[in-house]
Amino acid sequence: MKPAPFTYHDAQSLEEALALLAEHGDEAKLIAGGQSLVAMMNLRLAQPGHLIDINGIAGLDGIERDGESLLIGALACHADIAGSDLVREACPILADAAGHIGQYAIRQRGTIGGSLSHADPAAEWPLMAILMDAKIEIAQPSGDRRTVEGADFIQSIYTTDLGPDEVLTRVRFPCVERDEGWAFKSFARRRGDYFIVAVGATLALDGAGRVSRLRLALGGMEVTAIRLVEIEQEAIGNTPDGDWIEHIAAAARGAGEPADDQHADAEYRRELACVLVTDALAEALNRSGRG
């Protein structure tokens, strides 16, 4: 399998990448880790006439803390995020989720920016962006920047808010609070496969041990990851015990409109959602101040 012929461009700055995108329009594609795009090119599902490599752009792979936010550059690879002490301290669920992506070699090359731009419905980063209300930073051809909420950025299967002439530059995640519990749980046929269903949860308790904030998102139950907003809101003020977890897990079972496909039927996905939410909430509770 070989890709169709293309011209390779080695962009050394964001301005150069944007100018090349503007010049070549629909004929051009950015390449970051190449872990999704190259496979598509080899299968001739993508046939860009111009390939713009952004790996030479300095500063696009940084991970830094900015007050109560964690800023992750588009070129940060899954392995760097999984292994980052800063991420483990500021928002550990991100490091855990990154460690579940593919195999070792995939994690060394694949990037957070590439994964979000590709928007595979069974990918970890779109789920994390929706769970954590990430802010996606985008550079426009004019040189201006715009910021989009994670839930607005991921629009559908392999579809995002990103224009063909734009570059995703950075993702801003909120840091979890001290004593805030968290858990990422997923089920795949083999370790490293794309998940069939995955759950992300964070859980904060007030001084009386009642829920003050729950974030809960599911992947694999719709064409995009979904945030269980109603369940999150109803959870506030409850005492998180075994009955509470059972109640939330039963509600999660009915979330979304899962598809029957070659990986699993809808009923199996619902069962997985229920089991994984149970596990995730129990783990988040253990990690919370009460644990």
Ligand X SMILES: Cc1cc2nc3c(=O)[nH]c(=O)nc-3n(C[C@H](O)[C@H](O)[C@H](O)COP(=O)(O)OP(=O)(O)OC[C@H]3O[C@@H](n4cnc5c(N)ncnc54)[C@H](O)[C@@H]3O)c2cc1C
List residues binding ligand X (CB under 6 A). Answer: 29-37, 39, 54, 74, 101-102, 106, 109-111, 113-115, 117-118, 120, 123-124, 162, 167-168, 194
- Nearest CA among 160, 100, 92 for reference residue 124: 100
For β-strands 50-53 and 63-66, DSSP reports them as: unpaired
Query: What's the closest the beta carbon of residue 275 comes to ligand X, in angstroms?
Result: 19
CB of 238 to ligand X, least distance (A): 32
Residue with Cβ nearer ligand X (35 or 278): 35
Closest CA to 32 of 91, 115, 107: 115
CB of 39 to ligand X, least distance (A): 6
Give the shortest CB-146-to-ligand X separation in angstroms: 13
DSSP string, 28-45: EEEESS-TTHHHHHHTTS
Nearer to ligand X, 224 or 288 (CB): 224
Smallest separation, CB 206 to ligand X (Å)? 34
Instruction: Please give the Cα distance from 70 to 11 (Å, whole number).
Output: 26
Choose between 39 and 236: whose C-beta lies nearer to ligand X: 39
d(CA 20, CA 33): 19
In the bound complex, what is the minimum distance in angstroms from residue 124's beta carbon to ligand X?
Answer: 4
Which of 74, 216 has the CB closer to ligand X? 74
CB of 246 to ligand X, least distance (A): 29
The continuous run of DSSP H or E covering 185 comes out as: strand 181-187
Give Cα 3 distance to the centre of its chain. Answer: 28
Beta-carbon contacts of residue 54 (< 8 Å; ≥ 6 apart) = 11, 17, 30, 31, 32, 60, 74, 75, 167
Q: Which is nearer to ligand X, 37 or 221 (CB)?
A: 37
User: DSSP alpha helices (H): ranges in 132-265?
Assistant: 150-153, 229-235, 242-253
Question: How is residue 111 annotated by DSSP?
Answer: B
Count CB neighbours of 195 within 10 A: 23
Which is closer to ligand X, CB of 30 or CB of 203? 30
User: Residue 106 or 275: which CB sits closer to ligand X?
Assistant: 106
Which residue's structure tokens are 């490091």? 95
